[in-house]
Amino acid sequence: MSTIVVTKDNFKDEVVNASEPVLLDFWAAWCGPCRMVSPLVDELAEELSGKIKVGKVNVDEQPELAAQFGVMSIPTLAVLKNGEVVKKSIGAKPKSAIKDMLGL
């Protein structure tokens, strides 16, 4: 499954009501480290399809969601289960570290 663009309008349906854990990638187009993490997140979305849902939140377009999650630096990755944040990571990480966050 590919990544989902998460907005304040689809947040409840895509994230809160998700039956599987959700990895949210908070990013911006101008952010160099975000561009390094993005392909890794895309790969995990494909590899772990059916096990997790992966969403991307553009902080410039969705400042309400960024504020809701207390995102002050990007990239920020958050793992949510039942709509609650269970893990959060700030900064660029290798793929293995992102996978470890997911507990898989």
Task: Tell me the one-letter amino acid at 76.
Answer: T
Beta bridge partners of 49: 52
- In angstroms, rounded to a whole number, what is the distance separating the alpha carbons of residues 97 and 16? 24
In this structure, how many other beta carbons lie within 10 angstroms of the beta carbon of residue 38?
16
- In angstroms, rounded to a whole number, what is the distance separating the alpha carbons of residues 86 and 65? 17
Q: pLDDT digit string (tens) for 7-50?
A: 999 999 999 999 999 999 999 999 999 999 999 999 999 999 99
- 55 lies in which domain range? 4-102
**Are the C-beta atoms of 61 and 48 separated by less than 8 Å?**
no
pTM of the model: 0.94
Overall number of domains in the chain? 1
Number of residues that make up the chain: 104
- CATH number where 54 lies: 3.40.30.10
**Are the C-beta atoms of 4 and 17 separated by less than 8 Å?**
no
**Are the C-beta atoms of 48 and 39 separated by less than 8 Å?**
no
The catalytic residues are: 31, 34
Q: pLDDT digit string (tens) for 49-100?
A: 999 999 999 999 999 999 999 999 999 999 999 889 999 999 999 999 999 9
